[in-house]
């Protein structure tokens, strides 16, 4: 049992997951991850490098991945925006790399030390062009640890950049934790022959220096990696292929918690730090006779439509509290497609929702829909 | 709650002290050639003995916080102690 | 002009005082130097614009009662370039951190220098990232401590002056917060200069650089600055000494002050040739 | 895949818990050691076998202005990590008092650095000479340890032994002895406050 | 009547709208806008500058706006990704500036010369933190002209960055056109006194050198522009204020075309270049007895939910063809909320949809829903 | 070694030939120079990595039968830095365009130089943006024509060599595609050099630079290169001539070849000090 | 606010329109003037009072490989801007033929540069000596003008006068005379092709 | 459709020509000291008169497209004209 800060947990988890390359550029509230990696990497024989900016940080991480490392970088909003171009490069080149974004108030410099969830959509759509990414989030120090390890595991498994979204509160929060022993997906170097297709379906990730002279390009390319004719179709095939694999494995890659969903009239759908108040709110609501339940997502993208549909089947309303003006609520609404009302509860002033604020919103929603158990006062 | 600026004069020179802006860094204290500056309990600057001030303005150029201003003023009325 | 004897407070934005800077931070002394320079030049603050980046130093624009812009980290010179191009009457001063100007913003610095656009960049060089809490900067000396180089930096530091000279800046100077006479003088010269000017001011960050490198408090750090620098004789050209020799005797003074066609002028010449007489300015 | 909420579940400890959860807010200005104090308090509570969450609010602006560190201590898992209304408040500076030091639960305590009284004449709480004591001890920086000691001396929010252990774990060896003394002085300072609960 | 290229139309429209500052960095397929501005600006006394990258381009444009110019920059996907951080700065500082993004295949370098619509969501959510932007699009050369002028007008009116989305086909396409005389919103310099609040509600945009010593910052700030205490609430107020104003003026700022919607069973909802094939498809479908109609949006964001609801009230299905794997269809689905099926038709291989492909998809949809008029073959 | 008499085709990725470059483009001659250098050094292509940016020059990695990476515009050196750090055994060569390396990528160039990381940057300098169709580059000479400077450029050009020297590169050379003997020799020297090397090769772009500036076809442009450059005597230090004098006699040769602690080595020293013995390499 | 679809509505022109819309595809490799030819054809059609859309597909890769320029000419507004199956094809290089030159509507024409025959023995279409003619004329670069002339000479897709005007408008004065001659030679070349429609 | 590489030998020197890769830029044509290179109708390189070739390899170092290779080979069998 140790008292550990959120950012510290991420760094420790990365080391546990086999991370042996960290490149970064300081920014509040993510900096402690970098500072911890500056101490950890030399000790474990890994590489730490402070780059000239965030563009260089993610570029170096991708380069390191192709050099054979498990690579990570961490940043916050402004840096995350700068990383977008090269994040797309990682998608296009199917490079495993882990990117942590600790969200602070935005846009621009915004509220550098206060929490937000303003990058939920940016994490999915921030880079130009079609692409798939995996986006995880966490609401406690121990979960930050677990999700960091899973981020590495998923990035290895799917050869994709995986984004972990934290926020200013979680990054700086300390909790007493016992770290779970999360299994690590080790990278195995496959035996390859001259017919090896480095970008074939399900092809393993084979770094440089392996003997296969791989070509890695952000241009459209076919399974050999070369930018050839009909590249448009080739890239569509690759992008759709990734989409299909993720859809196929949806149940394995969707991490979530649930609470009292069986008979819930009102489902609170949360992610990240907001889940904590929601847990308390569900208790308070139940105590007040409102049948509330909680679906708390750790996997935000690929969008777990199947799960949301499954878990809200019997719901009479869904409430989506977010530290933004209503982002994730949109795909949720699209998924639920009118089967019940989906209400947004948003704020972007750098403050958390208290459990009481959620209770109030849930009650108002129940009231307006005349859902039983709410005193009509 | 803003404290009024203090003004000290000698000949045509006036030293003004905006204590509110002081952060207690000691730069002026350690650089004053007359050793007449110190910090109070609230870690704000105090001019201990203005009579020993030579009105050199070193405190002004050393202070990162614009606390001191040394000016030449038109009417050379000698006024020791705070005027405001 | 750099002697004591002026009231600078009219140039300050009173409602933002006191500054956000830590006790003893050299940035305030540089801000004073800029104010002194402005005062001595007698410029109308309506026609002065400050464009800062992000960092402790980037906050400087808040404290001047002028047209003030606090932009994004490293990009101040690019913002300033657009501003100056459309409104050449403005005196544009860009206070920059060393990380701001030479880590993330290095490219904008060298390109502004190349164009020789009439902007004054003042580099507040405290050899560290102050705002984010003491990480290494590209200006951190070899072996110096920071939170990202806890065992001492293994990266050679940039020499701001060398880089600015190579990129084409036409006025290049270095000074320190210790040098209260020269500093405002060099800044005033830079503002007067018609072309791109870089004035690097070595500044103390007692909170991080000083603490992590055991250099004592602000007063000690001023002496440290004095001792590690050496005035160029009679403001001459850059001396022929190696990087290694420079440690402990970093040259300070005015390294270049030369007239070359200025970018906005050049552009206005282009307008004239294109017949677009009704210039934006 | 559904995962469990936390990975830890400490045995219920022995500390006398005024409130469960107990919400503590430490505040002051940058450099006054607020966050370190919060961390040590949290570690002591952990040592006592309790759940604990420590959060902090500071900013670039707060380097001079007010910053706070909050600790929630409970025998059960802690959901909401921040503190709306604290049960215990420790406050070192005027700005911090004005921003964070005024609210407390009805049976809670507010401990204030003595000099705040001069700057805010109508300040309410128990005034203790943290700064002066630290100076007398020969190290301004032990302010936070003295105050933490006083808080625990008064309220027994955590056990003294746990806090001693936490101090030992966090302090650099060269400062340990001095701060151990500071802590004991703090315990005494706090123990002497009249308990009106 | 002239034969004009899409990119040329944008440059000509910008000059018409009073643009007197252009900063940019070359990139296919947007480069011709820049090349044309390089010739036009000096002739009209405006400023043209080639910056060192796209980050610098948008920074310079924002700087120029505060210098008093009507400023524009143009780019394509990779450059658009790089601009995201400073786009957020423009949002936060309420700076009028026009950004053109001519979409090519992505992610990363992708298919540099082929069309796509991969930045529809990025244009809305690409920068970190909450914010509002206005996003316009066009499907013909004359519309590119019109929408460019409107982009300037809207950016003046709301002090917002306005994004114009083109694509590789439209940028390079030539059509014979007669340019309409689109009215231009001139910037008027208000008289201001010392109580002027530069970021007050509805405050006019007052550039530097006006006598008011404005503070412009990307940090949260209040109406004076200063970053003061309670900045979180201040920024939320500003962001919500912008949202409210745009919502209030929704009918004036939503540009669209419609075709045969009155009795349409199947509504094709398109934007940009895709609309052209859709127009032909509607004709073909009608000829085949399928009651199809078209809603073609020029204003993509703020999301015209009201319009979509109004125009699809009687629809039995909505088909959303996009040159991506399904982006805009998500908010459309959220808006329609189950009132009828909303089907995505996507591709990302650098090719356009032919009218025939749309007809086929529409018929399949009609067939699956047993909507009348479709031969069941 | 630079004499004719070697078969370079085994080093080429046959399925990508012929190259995408226009007829007469100098980039192919530089590619040949790199191949010649590699052949002369006898390196195992399994342990050679090419990391290119975006631009005509950025395509070079496609044509070598090695580990090849074609990254994003301007960022190649940052990618290469990560690659080299984790796999120091790789010989890392970075072919860069002049826009790629000195417009958008200028910052990564100066930082790689500052760190002195063992990477060889070959700058394919054709004074223009080739790939996007002839826009001006930061290397375009004053008054030269491009599609974005139709009336002649008003921006002074960067001097790659000066910038690389100021930033700290330890091997710096300039040559041209005309100089078929020296060019591969200088590149081989750069690859052998342990530290950051920059070899700028002046290259002809007949399609855009040649056409827009009326310099004739590729054969004429080779002569143009010959005439505007002047060999440093005996590969000495940079001469003391002004920017203006340089026009028409741009110095070529080897400007610096000096040993300084290399970054990867330094980092491995740090690992050793930290006790993290099981280094990544 | 709903706006009208286009701002222009030219009067129906006088050209003999084989198909309405008429879809023309010009293809070759970079530097062969494909896009300029497409532009001139489009301007001529515009001069004839018709609607016209010209698009192009080229790439960095296409600088050597094949690129195409397509022109759609119609008496009505043109919706879909690209060409699925062209009515008229003009093709200057082997690669372009292989990629873009094989498909045509049943009653359409394919005009091929003569030398393609050597490189692709089974190529189908009308072979005309564009390149040789240009060389004989003394300017390799007039290839595209000759070919455009031939296309119009054969099909009257636009009126000759309009094409002459378009040429005049687009050509730099120093090259105009030469190209005017090239155009007339092209008309003749095209006029001599046996019309099997 | 790839054209086979041509090989010419003189003594221990062999000149190989990969015509397929030629783009007709004229660099070799204008630099060949023997003036024996020219372009054909398809704008590809032709060696007009190999008997006048001095096997200097200038064409190889001037060509941006790796068309020419000049090598020393072990067996100095003189073979004029293409061997493949
Ligand atoms: C894009 C981006 N990256 C990182 C940051 C975080 N950040 C703020 S200031 C700063 C560096 C400050 O150092 P310096 O420029 O030297 O200024 P100082 O604070 O030392 O004056 C950094 C990295 C940011 N705001 N934006
Ligand atoms: C972020 C980004 N901006 C712009 C471009 C477009 N672009 C591609 S190559 C290039 C410049 C090419 O010039 P240079 O680097 O000199 O290489 P060259 O083609 O001349 O060899 C540009 C601007 C891009 N791909 N990515
Ligand atoms: S003016 Fe001189 S003597 Fe007087 S207080 Fe200031 S420094 Fe000391
Ligand atoms: S130098 Fe200024 S801030 Fe520092 S103690 Fe003196 S008056 Fe106060
Ligand atoms: S952190 Fe350093 S640079 Fe920043 S205000 Fe404090 S002393 Fe100055
Ligand atoms: S455009 Fe210029 S640089 Fe690019 S391949 Fe052609 S000749 Fe070479
Ligand atoms: S080897 Fe020499 S002589 Fe022979 S073709 Fe080549 S250049 Fe001409
Ligand atoms: S130099 Fe090479 S590409 Fe050019 S003509 Fe000669 S063989 Fe062909
Ligand atoms: Mg700094
Ligand atoms: Mg170039």
Span G25-47, pLDDT tens digits: 999 987 889 999 999 999 999 99
F104 to chain E, closest Cα gap in Å: 5
* Total-model pTM: 0.96
C31 to chain B, closest Cα gap in Å: 8
Ordered structural domains, chain A, with CATH: 2-177 (3.40.50.970), 257-368 (3.40.50.920)
Contacts of G176 (CB under 8 A, 6+ apart): G167, G168
Tell me, yes or no, whether C3 lies in a domain.
no
Q: Residue F17's closest chain G neighbor by CA?
A: G64
Taking chain C, what is the end-to-end CA distance rounded to the nearest angstrom? 31
pLDDT at F4 over 80: no
Q: Residue G65's closest chain A neighbor by CA?
A: A229
Q: What is the pLDDT of residue E233?
A: 87
Chains C and A touch (3+ CB pairs under 8 A): yes
Contact between chains at A130 and E77 (C-beta distance less than 8 A): no
Ligand 1 pocket member C21 (CB < 6 A): no
Tell me, yes or no, whether C239 lies in a domain.
yes
Distance CA E80, CA E74 (A): 8
Average pLDDT over residues A115-137: 97
Q: What is the pLDDT of residue B41?
A: 79
Distance CA C116, CA C196 (A): 5
Tell me, yes or no, whether F194 lies in a domain.
yes
Q: Which residue of F79, F129, F139 sits with most ligand 2 atoms within 8 Å of its CB, as the best mutation to test the pocket?
A: F129
Summarised one tens digit per residue, pLDDT across range B17-72 is 999 999 999 999 999 999 999 998 778 999 999 999 999 999 999 999 999 999 98
Ligand 3 pocket member B29 (CB < 6 A): no
Q: How far is CA A248 from the centre of its chain?
A: 19
Identify all chain A residues contacting C59, using CB atoms and an 8 Å cutoff: none
Identify all chain E residues contacting G57, using CB atoms and an 8 Å cutoff: 113-114
pLDDT at F245 over 70: no
Residue A88, token pair as written in the block: 């797309």
Ligand 7 pocket member H52 (CB < 6 A): no
Range of the structural domain that residue F102 is part of? 9-273
Q: What is the pLDDT of residue H47?
A: 97
- Stretches in chain C below the pLDDT threshold 70: 1-5, 233-248, 278-281
Contact between chains at C20 and D31 (C-beta distance less than 8 A): no
Question: CA E199, E201, E206, E208: dihedral to nearest 10 degrees?
Answer: 0
Side-chain half-sphere exposure of D51, counting CA atoms within 13 A: 18
Q: Inter-axis angle of helices F106-115 and C106-115, to 10 degrees? A: 110
Cβ atoms within 10 A of the Cβ of H20, count? 15
Nearest Cα residue to F56 out of F250, F220, F208, F179? F208
Ligand 1 pocket member A25 (CB < 6 A): yes
The binding-site residues of ligand 4, defined as CB within 6 angstroms of any ligand atom, are: B 22-29, 45, 62-63, 65, 67
| Lowest mean pLDDT segment, chosen from C156-165, E363-372, F49-58 | E363-372
Which chains share 3+ C-beta pairs under 8 angstroms with A? C, D, E, F, G
Ligand 6 center to G32 CA (angstroms)? 16
G103 to chain H, closest Cα gap in Å: 22
Tell me, yes or no, whether C82 lies in a domain.
yes
Distance CA G127, CA G113 (A): 6
User: G57: pLDDT confidence band, cut at 50, 70 and 90?
Assistant: confident
Average pLDDT over residues G167-190: 94
Q: What is the pLDDT of residue G64?
A: 61
Chunk chain H into consecutive blocks of 10 residues (it has 84) and report each block's average pLDDT, rounded to whole numbers: 85 93 96 96 91 95 96 58 41
Cβ atoms C51, C76 nearer than 8 A: yes
Residue D134, token pair as written in the block: 């630290």
pLDDT at G145 over 90: yes
Cβ atoms A47, A64 nearer than 8 A: yes
Report which DSSP code applies to E219.
B
Interface test with G, best of H39, H41, H43, H64 (most G CBs within 10 A): H41
Summarised one tens digit per residue, pLDDT across range E314-349 is 999 999 999 999 999 999 999 999 999 999 999 999
Contact between chains at A109 and E219 (C-beta distance less than 8 A): yes
Chains D and C touch (3+ CB pairs under 8 A): yes
Contact between chains at F82 and A23 (C-beta distance less than 8 A): yes
Distance CA C195, CA C257 (A): 10
Nearest atom in ligand 2 to the alpha carbon of residue F73 is 26
Tell me, yes or no, whether C68 lies in a domain.
yes
User: F232: pLDDT confidence band, cut at 50, 70 and 90?
Assistant: confident
In this complex, the residue of C20, C22, C207 whose CB is nearest that of residue D61 is C20
Q: Which residue of F132, F160, F221 sits with most ligand 2 atoms within 8 Å of its CB, as the best mutation to test the pocket?
A: F132
Chunk chain D into consecutive blocks of 10 residues (it has 197) and report each block's average pLDDT, rounded to whole numbers: 39 48 92 92 95 83 73 93 93 90 91 91 93 90 94 92 95 92 95 71
Identify all chain E residues contacting G54, using CB atoms and an 8 Å cutoff: 3, 173-175
Cβ atoms A42, A21 nearer than 8 A: no
Summarised one tens digit per residue, pLDDT across range A239-298 is 899 999 999 999 999 999 999 999 999 999 999 999 999 999 999 999 999 999 999 999
Percentage of chain G modeled with pLDDT above 90: 65
Prediction ipTM score: 0.95
Contact between chains at A25 and C138 (C-beta distance less than 8 A): no
Average pLDDT over residues A124-138: 97
Q: What is the pLDDT of residue G66?
A: 81
pLDDT at F116 over 50: yes
Ligand 8 pocket member H50 (CB < 6 A): no
Contact between chains at G115 and H23 (C-beta distance less than 8 A): no
- Is pLDDT larger for residue E222 or for residue F244? E222
Q: Whose CA is nearest to atom 25 of ligand 1?
A: C73
Protein residues within 5 Å, CB atom, of ion ligand 10: F 97-98, 126, 130
Q: Which residue of F54, F57, F123 sits with most ligand 2 atoms within 8 Å of its CB, as the best mutation to test the pocket?
A: F54
Ligand 8 pocket member H27 (CB < 6 A): yes
In this complex, the residue of E42, E50, E53 whose CB is nearest that of residue F74 is E53
A107 touches chain C (CB under 8 A): no
Q: Counting ligands in written order, which one lies closest to the CA of residue F53?
A: 2
Q: What is the pLDDT of residue C245?
A: 54
Contact between chains at A277 and D80 (C-beta distance less than 8 A): yes
Percentage of chain A modeled with pLDDT above 90: 90
If you search the block for the tokens 């092809």, which residue do you land on? A203
Interface test with C, best of A7, A34, A35, A79 (most C CBs within 10 A): A35
User: G8: pLDDT confidence band, cut at 50, 70 and 90?
Assistant: very low
Tell me, yes or no, whether C280 lies in a domain.
no
Cβ atoms C55, C125 nearer than 8 A: no
Contact between chains at C28 and B63 (C-beta distance less than 8 A): yes
Q: What is the pLDDT of residue D7?
A: 33
If you search the block for the tokens 């060896």, which residue do you land on? D173
Tell me, yes or no, whether C2 lies in a domain.
no
Tell me, yes or no, whether F242 lies in a domain.
yes
The binding-site residues of ligand 5, defined as CB within 6 angstroms of any ligand atom, are: C 21-22, 25, 27, 56, 126, 130-131, 205-208
User: E376: pLDDT confidence band, cut at 50, 70 and 90?
Assistant: very low
Work out how many domains chain F is built from and give that number.
1
Identify all chain D residues contacting B41, using CB atoms and an 8 Å cutoff: 115, 118, 131
Chains H and B touch (3+ CB pairs under 8 A): no
Q: Whose CA is nearest to atom 4 of ligand 8?
A: H25
Q: Whose CA is nearest to atom 2 of ligand 8?
A: H63
Which chains share 3+ C-beta pairs under 8 angstroms with F? A, C, E, G, H
Cβ atoms C167, C92 nearer than 8 A: no
Q: Whose CA is nearest to atom 4 of ligand 3?
A: B53
Contact between chains at E110 and A219 (C-beta distance less than 8 A): yes
Nearest Cα residue to A64 out of A78, A46, A82, A80? A46
Cβ atoms A103, E83 nearer than 8 A: no
pLDDT at A355 over 70: yes
Nearest atom in ligand 5 to the alpha carbon of residue C56 is 4
pLDDT at G2 over 80: no
- Is pLDDT larger for residue A375 or for residue E153? E153
Contact between chains at G64 and F131 (C-beta distance less than 8 A): no
Query: β-strand A47-50 against A21-24: which pairing, if any?
Result: parallel
Cβ atoms within 10 A of the Cβ of E363, count? 21
CATH number at residue F225: 3.40.50.970
């Amino acid at each position: 049992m140790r008292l550990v800060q959120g950012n510290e947990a991420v760094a420790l988890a990365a080391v546990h997951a086999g991370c042996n390359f960290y490149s970064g550029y300081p920014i509040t509230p993510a900096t402690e991850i970098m500072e911890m990696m500056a101490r950890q990497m030399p000790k474990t024989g890994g590489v730490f490098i402070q780059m000239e900016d965030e563009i260089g940080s993610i570029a170096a991480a991708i380069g390191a991945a192709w050099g054979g490392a498990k690579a990570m970088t961490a940043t916050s909003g402004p840096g995350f925006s700068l990383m977008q171009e090269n994040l797309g490069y990682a998608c296009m080149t199917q490079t495993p790399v882990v990117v942590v974004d600790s969200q602070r108030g935005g846009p621009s410099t915004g509220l550098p030390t206060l929490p937000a969830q303003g990058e939920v959509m940016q994490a999915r759509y921030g880079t130009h062009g079609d692409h798939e990414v995996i986006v995880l989030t966490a609401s406690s120090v121990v979960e930050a640890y677990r999700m960091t390890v899973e981020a590495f595991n998923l990035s290895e498994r799917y050869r994709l950049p995986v984004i972990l979204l934290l926020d200013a509160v979680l990054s700086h929060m300390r909790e007493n934790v016992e770290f779970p022993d999360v299994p690590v997906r080790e990278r195995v170097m496959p035996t390859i022959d001259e017919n090896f297709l480095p970008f074939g379906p399900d092809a393993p990730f084979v770094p440089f220096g392996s003997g296969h002279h791989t070509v890695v390009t952000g241009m459209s390319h076919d399974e050999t990696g070369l930018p050839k004719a009909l590249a448009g179709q080739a890239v569509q095939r690759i992008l759709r292929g990734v989409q299909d694999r993720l859809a196929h494995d949806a149940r394995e890659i969707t991490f979530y918690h649930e609470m009292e969903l069986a008979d819930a009239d009102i489902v609170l759908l949360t992610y990240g730090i907001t889940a904590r108040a929601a847990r308390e709110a569900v208790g308070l609501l139940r105590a007040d006779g409102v049948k509330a339940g909680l679906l708390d997502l750790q996997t935000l993208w690929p969008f777990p439509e199947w799960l949301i549909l499954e878990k809200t089947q019997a719901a009479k309303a869904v409430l989506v509290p977010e530290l933004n003006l209503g982002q994730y609520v949109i795909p949720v609404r699209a998924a639920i497609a009118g089967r019940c009302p989906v209400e947004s509860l948003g704020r972007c002033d750098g403050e958390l929702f208290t459990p009481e604020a959620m209770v109030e919103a849930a009650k108002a929603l129940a009231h307006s829909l005349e859902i039983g158990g709410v005193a009509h006062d | 709650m803003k404290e009024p600026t203090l003004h000290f004069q000698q000949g045509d020179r006036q030293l003004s002290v905006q204590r509110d802006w002081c952060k207690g860094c000691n730069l002026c204290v350690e650089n004053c050639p007359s050793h007449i500056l110190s910090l109070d309990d609230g870690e704000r600057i105090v001019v201990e003995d203005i009579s020993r001030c030579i009105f050199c303005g070193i405190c002004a150029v050393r202070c990162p916080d614009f606390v001191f201003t040394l000016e030449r003023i038109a009417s050379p009325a000698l006024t020791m102690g705070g005027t405001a | 002009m750099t002697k004591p004897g002026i009231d600078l407070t009219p140039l300050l934005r009173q409602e933002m005082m006191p500054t956000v800077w830590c006790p003893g931070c050299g940035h305030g002394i540089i801000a004073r130097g800029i104010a002194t320079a402005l005062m001595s030049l007698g410029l109308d603050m309506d026609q002065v614009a400050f464009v800062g980046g992000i960092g402790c130093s980037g906050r400087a624009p808040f404290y001047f009662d002028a047209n003030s812009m606090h932009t994004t980290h490293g990009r101040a010179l690019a913002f300033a370039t657009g501003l100056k191009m459309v409104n050449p009457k403005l005196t544009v001063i860009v206070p920059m951190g060393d990380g701001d100007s030479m880590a993330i913003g290095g490219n904008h610095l060298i390109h502004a220098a190349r164009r020789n656009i009439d902007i004054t960049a003042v580099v507040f060089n405290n050899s560290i990232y102050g705002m984010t809490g003491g990480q290494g900067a590209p200006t951190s000396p070899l072996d110096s401590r920071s939170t990202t180089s806890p065992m001492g930096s293994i990266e050679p530091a940039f020499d701001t002056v060398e880089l600015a000279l190579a990129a084409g800046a036409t006025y290049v100077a270095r000074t320190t917060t210790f040098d209260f006479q020269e500093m405002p003088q060099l800044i005033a010269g830079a503002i007067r200069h018609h072309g791109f000017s870089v004035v690097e001011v070595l500044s103390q960050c007692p909170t991080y650089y000083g603490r992590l490198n055991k250099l004592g408090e602000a007063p000690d750090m001023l002496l440290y600055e004095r001792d590690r620098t050496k005035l160029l004789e009679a403001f001459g050209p850059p001396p022929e000494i190696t990087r290694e020799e420079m440690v402990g005797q970093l040259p300070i003074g005015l390294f270049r002050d030369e007239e070359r066609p200025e970018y906005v002028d050049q552009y206005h010449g282009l307008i004239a040739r294109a017949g677009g007489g009704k210039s934006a300015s | 895949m559904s995962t469990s909420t936390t990975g830890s579940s400490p045995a219920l400890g022995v500390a006398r818990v005024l409130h469960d959860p107990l919400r503590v807010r430490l505040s002051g200005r940058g450099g006054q050691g607020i966050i370190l104090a919060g961390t040590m308090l949290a570690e002591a509570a952990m040592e006592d076998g309790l759940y604990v969450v420590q959060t902090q609010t500071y900013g670039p602006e707060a380097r001079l202005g007010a910053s706070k560190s909050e600790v929630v201590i409970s025998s059960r898992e802690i959901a909401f990590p921040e503190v709306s209304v604290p049960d215990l408040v420790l406050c070192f500076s005027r700005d911090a008092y004005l921003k964070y030091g005024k609210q407390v639960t009805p049976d809670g305590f507010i401990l204030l650095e003595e000099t705040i009284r001069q700057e805010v004449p109508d300040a309410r709480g128990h005034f203790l000479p943290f700064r002066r004591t630290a100076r007398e001890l020969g190290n301004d920086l032990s302010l936070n340890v003295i105050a933490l000691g006083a808080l625990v001396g008064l309220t027994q929010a955590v056990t003294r032994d746990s806090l001693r252990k936490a101090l030992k774990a966090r302090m650099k060896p060269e400062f340990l002895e001095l701060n151990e003394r500071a802590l004991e002085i703090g315990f005494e300072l706090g123990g002497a406050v009249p308990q009106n609960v």
